[in-house]
Protein backbone atom coordinates (compact mmCIF):
# COMPACT_ATOMS: atom_id res chain seq x y z
CA UNK A 1 0.00 0.00 0.00
CA UNK A 2 1.51 3.35 -0.98
CA UNK A 3 2.08 6.03 1.65
CA UNK A 4 -0.72 8.52 1.88
CA UNK A 5 -0.02 12.23 1.64
CA UNK A 6 -1.79 14.26 4.34
CA UNK A 7 -1.77 18.07 4.12
CA UNK A 8 -2.79 20.38 6.96
CA UNK A 9 -3.91 23.23 4.70
CA UNK A 10 -3.04 26.89 5.12
CA UNK A 11 -5.51 27.57 2.32
CA UNK A 12 -7.65 24.72 1.04
CA UNK A 13 -8.17 26.14 -2.46
CA UNK A 14 -4.44 26.39 -3.25
CA UNK A 15 -3.50 23.00 -1.75
CA UNK A 16 -6.42 21.36 -3.53
CA UNK A 17 -5.48 22.84 -6.93
CA UNK A 18 -1.93 21.51 -6.44
CA UNK A 19 -3.17 18.07 -5.37
CA UNK A 20 -5.47 17.86 -8.41
CA UNK A 21 -2.61 18.81 -10.72
CA UNK A 22 -0.51 15.99 -9.26
CA UNK A 23 -3.25 13.40 -10.04
CA UNK A 24 -4.07 12.41 -13.59
CA UNK A 25 -7.68 13.27 -14.34
CA UNK A 26 -9.79 13.36 -17.47
CA UNK A 27 -12.97 14.09 -15.51
CA UNK A 28 -13.47 15.15 -11.89
CA UNK A 29 -16.35 14.12 -9.62
CA UNK A 30 -17.09 15.56 -6.17
CA UNK A 31 -18.97 13.45 -3.64
CA UNK A 32 -20.92 15.51 -1.07
CA UNK A 33 -23.72 14.87 1.38
CA UNK A 34 -26.68 17.16 2.01
CA UNK A 35 -24.69 19.18 4.61
CA UNK A 36 -21.37 19.54 2.80
CA UNK A 37 -23.25 20.41 -0.42
CA UNK A 38 -24.44 23.57 1.32
CA UNK A 39 -21.68 24.35 3.84
CA UNK A 40 -18.43 23.24 2.19
CA UNK A 41 -18.88 22.89 -1.58
CA UNK A 42 -18.84 26.69 -2.15
CA UNK A 43 -15.16 26.68 -1.06
CA UNK A 44 -14.33 24.12 -3.77
CA UNK A 45 -16.21 26.11 -6.38
CA UNK A 46 -13.49 28.78 -6.05
CA UNK A 47 -11.01 26.34 -7.62
CA UNK A 48 -10.94 26.87 -11.40
CA UNK A 49 -9.88 23.26 -12.08
CA UNK A 50 -13.24 22.20 -10.63
CA UNK A 51 -15.34 24.38 -12.94
CA UNK A 52 -16.56 21.38 -14.94
CA UNK A 53 -16.62 18.85 -12.08
CA UNK A 54 -19.74 16.73 -11.61
CA UNK A 55 -21.23 16.72 -8.12
CA UNK A 56 -22.70 13.49 -6.71
CA UNK A 57 -24.69 14.15 -3.55
CA UNK A 58 -25.83 11.45 -1.13
CA UNK A 59 -27.83 11.43 2.11
CA UNK A 60 -25.94 12.29 5.28
CA UNK A 61 -25.37 10.05 8.33
CA UNK A 62 -24.54 6.38 8.81
CA UNK A 63 -27.97 5.11 7.68
CA UNK A 64 -26.93 5.95 4.11
CA UNK A 65 -23.64 4.02 4.25
CA UNK A 66 -25.24 1.24 2.24
CA UNK A 67 -24.88 -0.85 -0.89
CA UNK A 68 -27.75 1.14 -2.49
CA UNK A 69 -25.94 4.43 -1.94
CA UNK A 70 -22.70 2.92 -3.21
CA UNK A 71 -24.50 1.67 -6.34
CA UNK A 72 -25.96 5.15 -6.89
CA UNK A 73 -22.43 6.61 -6.85
CA UNK A 74 -21.13 3.95 -9.27
CA UNK A 75 -24.17 4.70 -11.48
CA UNK A 76 -23.41 8.42 -11.78
CA UNK A 77 -19.72 7.70 -12.42
CA UNK A 78 -20.69 5.27 -15.17
CA UNK A 79 -23.43 7.39 -16.74
CA UNK A 80 -21.34 10.55 -16.70
CA UNK A 81 -18.42 8.93 -18.47
CA UNK A 82 -15.91 8.35 -15.67
CA UNK A 83 -12.88 6.38 -16.88
CA UNK A 84 -9.89 4.69 -15.21
CA UNK A 85 -8.28 8.15 -15.35
CA UNK A 86 -11.01 10.08 -13.58
CA UNK A 87 -10.66 11.55 -10.10
CA UNK A 88 -13.16 11.46 -7.23
CA UNK A 89 -13.00 14.09 -4.47
CA UNK A 90 -14.77 13.07 -1.23
CA UNK A 91 -16.00 16.11 0.69
CA UNK A 92 -17.57 15.17 4.01
CA UNK A 93 -17.38 13.28 7.27
CA UNK A 94 -16.39 9.64 7.78
CA UNK A 95 -19.45 8.29 5.99
CA UNK A 96 -18.62 10.17 2.78
CA UNK A 97 -14.88 9.43 2.89
CA UNK A 98 -15.41 5.71 3.70
CA UNK A 99 -18.10 5.14 1.07
CA UNK A 100 -16.49 7.42 -1.53
CA UNK A 101 -13.12 5.75 -0.98
CA UNK A 102 -14.69 2.34 -1.56
CA UNK A 103 -16.58 3.57 -4.65
CA UNK A 104 -13.29 4.90 -6.09
CA UNK A 105 -11.30 1.79 -5.13
CA UNK A 106 -13.75 -0.50 -6.93
CA UNK A 107 -14.88 1.55 -9.97
CA UNK A 108 -13.13 0.15 -13.05
CA UNK A 109 -10.77 -1.65 -10.62
CA UNK A 110 -9.79 1.58 -8.96
CA UNK A 111 -9.54 5.29 -9.72
CA UNK A 112 -7.67 7.98 -7.81
CA UNK A 113 -9.44 9.80 -5.03
CA UNK A 114 -8.81 12.70 -2.66
CA UNK A 115 -10.34 13.09 0.80
CA UNK A 116 -11.38 16.45 2.21
CA UNK A 117 -12.70 15.58 5.69
CA UNK A 118 -15.09 18.13 7.15
CA UNK A 119 -15.68 16.81 10.69
CA UNK A 120 -13.16 16.43 13.51
CA UNK A 121 -13.71 12.65 13.60
CA UNK A 122 -12.94 12.27 9.91
CA UNK A 123 -9.94 14.63 10.04
CA UNK A 124 -8.15 12.75 12.81
CA UNK A 125 -9.36 9.25 12.01
CA UNK A 126 -11.71 8.11 9.23
CA UNK A 127 -10.24 9.98 6.26
CA UNK A 128 -6.64 9.07 7.11
CA UNK A 129 -5.15 5.59 6.81
CA UNK A 130 -6.84 4.06 3.78
CA UNK A 131 -9.70 2.10 5.37
CA UNK A 132 -12.79 2.30 3.13
CA UNK A 133 -16.15 0.56 3.26
CA UNK A 134 -19.87 0.39 3.79
CA UNK A 135 -22.22 -1.19 6.33
CA UNK A 136 -23.87 -4.46 5.30
CA UNK A 137 -26.29 -6.97 6.81
CA UNK A 138 -26.67 -4.79 9.92
CA UNK A 139 -22.90 -4.78 10.54
CA UNK A 140 -20.74 -1.68 10.49
CA UNK A 141 -18.00 -1.50 7.84
CA UNK A 142 -18.65 -5.14 6.95
CA UNK A 143 -17.61 -4.70 3.31
CA UNK A 144 -14.55 -2.68 2.40
CA UNK A 145 -10.88 -2.65 1.63
CA UNK A 146 -7.61 -0.86 2.30
CA UNK A 147 -7.16 1.77 -0.43
CA UNK A 148 -5.41 5.01 0.50
CA UNK A 149 -6.49 8.34 -0.95
CA UNK A 150 -3.92 9.96 -3.22
CA UNK A 151 -4.02 12.87 -0.78
CA UNK A 152 -5.97 13.93 2.34
CA UNK A 153 -6.48 17.69 2.63
CA UNK A 154 -7.36 18.90 6.12
CA UNK A 155 -8.97 22.34 6.37
CA UNK A 156 -9.63 22.99 10.06
CA UNK A 157 -11.66 26.15 9.24
CA UNK A 158 -14.56 23.74 8.62
CA UNK A 159 -14.51 22.96 12.37
CA UNK A 160 -15.82 26.44 13.23
CA UNK A 161 -19.34 25.36 12.29
CA UNK A 162 -19.24 21.96 13.99
CA UNK A 163 -21.78 21.41 16.78
CA UNK A 164 -20.60 20.39 20.28
CA UNK A 165 -21.56 16.76 19.95
CA UNK A 166 -19.60 16.28 16.75
CA UNK A 167 -16.68 18.19 18.25
CA UNK A 168 -16.52 15.83 21.26
CA UNK A 169 -17.06 12.77 19.09
CA UNK A 170 -13.87 13.57 17.16
CA UNK A 171 -12.05 14.67 20.30
CA UNK A 172 -12.38 11.14 21.76
CA UNK A 173 -10.21 9.78 18.94
CA UNK A 174 -7.70 12.57 19.70
CA UNK A 175 -7.63 11.49 23.36
CA UNK A 176 -6.97 7.94 22.17
CA UNK A 177 -4.04 9.21 20.08
CA UNK A 178 -2.76 11.07 23.16
CA UNK A 179 -2.95 7.88 25.25
CA UNK A 180 -0.99 5.83 22.71
CA UNK A 181 1.66 8.51 22.10
CA UNK A 182 3.25 10.63 24.86
CA UNK A 183 2.31 11.93 28.35
CA UNK A 184 2.90 15.51 27.13
CA UNK A 185 0.51 15.13 24.19
CA UNK A 186 -2.14 13.59 26.46
CA UNK A 187 -1.79 16.36 29.06
CA UNK A 188 -2.18 19.05 26.36
CA UNK A 189 -5.40 17.39 25.23
CA UNK A 190 -6.75 17.12 28.78
CA UNK A 191 -5.92 20.78 29.43
CA UNK A 192 -7.53 22.09 26.20
CA UNK A 193 -10.34 24.55 26.90
CA UNK A 194 -13.30 22.94 25.15
CA UNK A 195 -15.66 25.76 26.15
CA UNK A 196 -13.68 28.61 24.57
CA UNK A 197 -12.10 26.88 21.61
CA UNK A 198 -8.79 28.34 20.46
CA UNK A 199 -8.94 27.30 16.79
CA UNK A 200 -5.25 27.94 16.14
CA UNK A 201 -4.34 25.58 19.00
CA UNK A 202 -6.95 23.08 17.85
CA UNK A 203 -5.33 23.07 14.40
CA UNK A 204 -1.96 22.25 15.99
CA UNK A 205 -3.50 19.46 18.05
CA UNK A 206 -5.26 18.05 14.98
CA UNK A 207 -1.91 18.06 13.15
CA UNK A 208 -0.22 16.17 15.99
CA UNK A 209 -3.09 13.72 16.26
CA UNK A 210 -2.94 12.95 12.54
CA UNK A 211 0.81 12.41 12.84
CA UNK A 212 0.26 9.78 15.54
CA UNK A 213 -2.10 7.90 13.24
CA UNK A 214 0.09 8.33 10.14
CA UNK A 215 3.18 6.98 11.94
CA UNK A 216 1.28 3.88 12.98
CA UNK A 217 -0.37 3.29 9.59
CA UNK A 218 2.96 3.68 7.83
CA UNK A 219 4.45 0.87 9.94
CA UNK A 220 1.44 -1.45 9.59
CA UNK A 221 -1.03 -0.36 6.88
CA UNK A 222 -3.13 -3.55 6.98
CA UNK A 223 -3.45 -3.96 10.76
CA UNK A 224 -1.40 -7.09 11.35
CA UNK A 225 0.33 -5.60 14.40
CA UNK A 226 0.88 -2.07 15.73
CA UNK A 227 -2.15 -0.60 13.90
CA UNK A 228 -4.23 -2.49 16.48
CA UNK A 229 -3.12 0.24 18.91
CA UNK A 230 -5.72 2.42 17.18
CA UNK A 231 -8.39 0.06 18.54
CA UNK A 232 -7.86 1.25 22.11
CA UNK A 233 -11.29 1.98 23.61
CA UNK A 234 -13.06 0.38 20.66
CA UNK A 235 -13.74 -3.15 21.99
CA UNK A 236 -16.02 -1.86 24.76
CA UNK A 237 -16.89 1.17 22.61
CA UNK A 238 -18.36 -0.87 19.75
CA UNK A 239 -20.45 -2.88 22.23
CA UNK A 240 -21.90 0.34 23.71
CA UNK A 241 -22.54 1.66 20.20
CA UNK A 242 -24.31 -1.54 19.12
CA UNK A 243 -26.42 -1.79 22.29
CA UNK A 244 -27.42 1.86 21.94
CA UNK A 245 -28.45 1.24 18.33
CA UNK A 246 -30.42 -1.90 19.24
CA UNK A 247 -32.25 0.08 21.94
CA UNK A 248 -33.01 2.86 19.43
CA UNK A 249 -31.01 5.44 21.36
CA UNK A 250 -28.03 5.72 18.95
CA UNK A 251 -24.89 7.47 20.14
CA UNK A 252 -22.11 9.10 18.14
CA UNK A 253 -19.12 6.85 17.55
CA UNK A 254 -16.68 9.02 19.50
CA UNK A 255 -18.93 9.06 22.57
CA UNK A 256 -18.92 5.24 22.61
CA UNK A 257 -15.12 5.32 22.23
CA UNK A 258 -14.78 7.76 25.17
CA UNK A 259 -16.86 5.42 27.39
CA UNK A 260 -14.88 2.46 26.01
CA UNK A 261 -11.66 4.20 27.03
CA UNK A 262 -12.89 4.35 30.63
CA UNK A 263 -13.40 0.56 30.70
CA UNK A 264 -10.20 -0.26 28.82
CA UNK A 265 -8.08 2.02 31.01
CA UNK A 266 -9.49 0.14 33.98
CA UNK A 267 -8.42 -3.16 32.37
CA UNK A 268 -5.05 -1.55 31.61
CA UNK A 269 -4.74 -0.54 35.27
CA UNK A 270 -5.55 -3.95 36.73
CA UNK A 271 -3.88 -6.13 34.11
CA UNK A 272 -0.94 -4.04 32.87
CA UNK A 273 -0.19 -1.58 35.68
CA UNK A 274 -1.40 1.59 33.90
CA UNK A 275 -0.95 4.55 36.33
CA UNK A 276 -4.03 5.11 38.46
CA UNK A 277 -3.67 8.92 38.49
CA UNK A 278 -3.67 9.19 34.67
CA UNK A 279 -6.69 6.88 34.55
CA UNK A 280 -8.44 9.17 37.04
CA UNK A 281 -7.69 12.27 34.90
CA UNK A 282 -9.05 10.69 31.71
CA UNK A 283 -12.15 9.34 33.50
CA UNK A 284 -12.80 12.82 34.91
CA UNK A 285 -12.50 14.39 31.44
CA UNK A 286 -14.90 11.84 29.97
CA UNK A 287 -17.38 12.26 32.83
CA UNK A 288 -17.38 16.05 32.48
CA UNK A 289 -17.68 16.19 28.69
CA UNK A 290 -19.44 13.05 27.49
CA UNK A 291 -22.04 12.33 30.15
CA UNK A 292 -22.59 8.62 30.54
CA UNK A 293 -24.23 5.73 28.79
CA UNK A 294 -26.70 4.13 31.18
CA UNK A 295 -26.96 0.36 31.52
CA UNK A 296 -27.57 -2.03 34.39
CA UNK A 297 -26.03 -5.34 35.45
CA UNK A 298 -28.77 -7.30 33.65
CA UNK A 299 -27.32 -5.96 30.40
CA UNK A 300 -23.75 -7.15 31.09
CA UNK A 301 -24.27 -10.50 29.26
CA UNK A 302 -25.66 -8.69 26.19
CA UNK A 303 -22.70 -6.31 26.12
CA UNK A 304 -20.34 -9.25 26.61
CA UNK A 305 -21.94 -11.13 23.67
CA UNK A 306 -21.61 -8.05 21.49
CA UNK A 307 -17.91 -7.89 22.40
CA UNK A 308 -17.52 -11.56 21.45
CA UNK A 309 -18.80 -10.78 17.95
CA UNK A 310 -16.35 -7.93 17.34
CA UNK A 311 -14.58 -8.44 14.00
CA UNK A 312 -11.19 -7.83 15.62
CA UNK A 313 -11.46 -11.10 17.59
CA UNK A 314 -9.85 -14.35 16.54
CA UNK A 315 -11.43 -17.75 17.31
CA UNK A 316 -14.06 -16.04 19.50
CA UNK A 317 -11.48 -14.67 21.96
CA UNK A 318 -12.05 -11.01 22.76
CA UNK A 319 -9.03 -9.00 21.73
CA UNK A 320 -8.01 -5.81 23.53
CA UNK A 321 -5.31 -3.23 23.07
CA UNK A 322 -4.21 -2.18 26.57
CA UNK A 323 -1.54 0.17 27.94
CA UNK A 324 1.03 -0.29 30.69
CA UNK A 325 1.59 3.49 30.61
CA UNK A 326 0.88 6.37 28.24
CA UNK A 327 2.50 5.35 24.94
CA UNK A 328 3.35 1.84 26.20
CA UNK A 329 1.14 -0.38 24.09
CA UNK A 330 0.22 -4.01 24.90
CA UNK A 331 -1.37 -5.65 21.85
CA UNK A 332 -3.55 -8.77 21.71
CA UNK A 333 -4.57 -8.80 25.36
CA UNK A 334 -7.45 -10.86 26.70
CA UNK A 335 -9.65 -10.69 29.79
CA UNK A 336 -12.05 -13.25 31.22
CA UNK A 337 -15.77 -12.66 31.63
CA UNK A 338 -15.53 -11.78 35.34
CA UNK A 339 -12.84 -9.17 34.70
CA UNK A 340 -14.88 -7.64 31.88
CA UNK A 341 -17.92 -7.46 34.19
CA UNK A 342 -15.69 -5.82 36.82
CA UNK A 343 -14.80 -3.17 34.23
CA UNK A 344 -18.54 -2.55 33.69
CA UNK A 345 -18.92 -2.16 37.50
CA UNK A 346 -16.03 0.32 37.55
CA UNK A 347 -17.56 2.30 34.68
CA UNK A 348 -20.98 2.53 36.35
CA UNK A 349 -19.52 3.48 39.69
CA UNK A 350 -17.24 6.25 38.47
CA UNK A 351 -19.62 7.60 35.84
CA UNK A 352 -22.48 7.64 38.34
CA UNK A 353 -24.77 5.33 36.29
N1 LIG B 1 -9.91 3.73 12.97
C2 LIG B 1 -8.82 2.90 13.26
C3 LIG B 1 -7.95 2.64 12.08
O4 LIG B 1 -8.01 3.35 11.09
O5 LIG B 1 -7.20 1.70 12.11
Ordered DSSP codes for 294-333: ---GGGHHHHHHHHHT-TT-BTTB--EEEEEETTEEEEEE
Domain hosting residue 135, numbered range = 5-161
Number of domains in the chain: 2
Residue 65 and residue 154 share a domain: yes
Q: Whose CA is nearest to atom 4 of ligand 1?
A: 129
Q: Which of 125, 176, 224 to mutate to test the pocket of ligand 1 (most atoms within 8 A of CB)?
A: 125
pLDDT at 310: 78
Residues 155 and 177 in one domain: no
Residues of the chain with pLDDT under 50: none
Report DSSP letters for 18-66, one per residue: HHHHHS--SSEEEEEEHHHHHHTHHHHTT-GGGTTPEEEEE--SGGG-S
DSSP 113: E
Q: Supply the CATH number for residue 87's domain.
A: 3.40.50.1970
Q: Are residues 311 and 263 in the same domain?
A: yes
Ligand 1 pocket check for 260: Cβ under 6 Å: no
| pLDDT tens-digit series, residues 286-338 | 999 999 999 999 999 999 999 998 777 877 889 999 999 999 999 999 999 99
**What pLDDT score does 338 carry?**
97
The answer to whether residues 177 and 323 belong to one domain is yes
Q: What is the pLDDT of residue 2?
A: 57
Query: The whole model's pTM is what?
Result: 0.95
Domain CATH code at residue 335 = 1.20.1090.10
* Helix runs in 159-313, H state only: 164-179, 183-191, 199-219, 234-246, 253-272, 276-290, 300-308
Domain boundary (161, 196, 222) is at 161
Q: Examine the domain organization and report whether 173 and 199 are in the same domain.
A: yes
Domain boundary among 112, 143, 161: 161
Per-residue pLDDT tens over the stretch 79-120: 999 999 999 999 999 999 999 999 999 999 999 999 999 999
Residues 63 and 143 in one domain: yes
pLDDT value of position 139: 82
Nearest partner of 352 among 282, 283, 258, judged by Cα: 283
Name the residue of 94, 219, 230 whose CB sits within 8 Å of the most ligand 1 atoms, as the mutation to test its pocket. 230
Question: Considering 108, 134, 161, which residue would you say is the last residue of a domain?
Answer: 161
Q: Quick one: which of 152, 177, 155 has its CA closest to 189?
A: 177
Amino acid sequence: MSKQEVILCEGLEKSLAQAIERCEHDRIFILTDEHTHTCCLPRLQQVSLLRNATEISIGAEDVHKTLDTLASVWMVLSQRGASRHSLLINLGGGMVTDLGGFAAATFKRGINYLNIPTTLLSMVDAAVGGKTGINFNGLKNEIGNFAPAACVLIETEFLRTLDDRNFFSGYAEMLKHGLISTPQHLQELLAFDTEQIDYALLKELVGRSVQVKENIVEQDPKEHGIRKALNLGHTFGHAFESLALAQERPVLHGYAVAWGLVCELYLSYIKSGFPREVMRQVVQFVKENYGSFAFNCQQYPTLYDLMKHDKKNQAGIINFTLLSDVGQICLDQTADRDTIFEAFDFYRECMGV
